[in-house]
């Protein structure tokens, strides 16, 4: 009986340890991911504004860029 109670406690402790370890690592990865996403969004918006400006005032250059980087 004491052995069963001890094993249940040991398994629960190991599970909590693994859960904390897993979410600790995943929490850091999610933090890095959202930080990179936060840095990429302003760059994307700036690129969109520059491309829209080029599309209005320099359509030939915008077409060349679209053909060069856009693929099909």
Give the DSSP per-residue string, 17-52: HHHHHHHHHHHHHHHHHHHHHHHHHHHHHHHHHHHH
pTM for the predicted model, two decimal places: 0.54
- Sequence ranges of the domains in the chain: 2-70
Report pLDDT for 72.
64
- The answer to whether residue 63 scores a pLDDT higher than 90 is no
Asked whether residue 40 carries a pLDDT value surpassing 70, the answer given is yes
């Amino acid at each position: 009986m004491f052995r069963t109670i001890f094993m249940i406690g040991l398994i629960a402790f190991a599970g909590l340890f693994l859960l904390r370890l897993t979410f600790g690592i995943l929490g850091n990865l999610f933090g890095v991911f959202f930080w990179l996403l936060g840095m990429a969004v302003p760059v994307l918006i700036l690129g969109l504004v520059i491309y829209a400006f080029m599309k209005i005032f320099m359509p030939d250059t915008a077409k060349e860029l679209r053909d060069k980087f856009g693929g099909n």
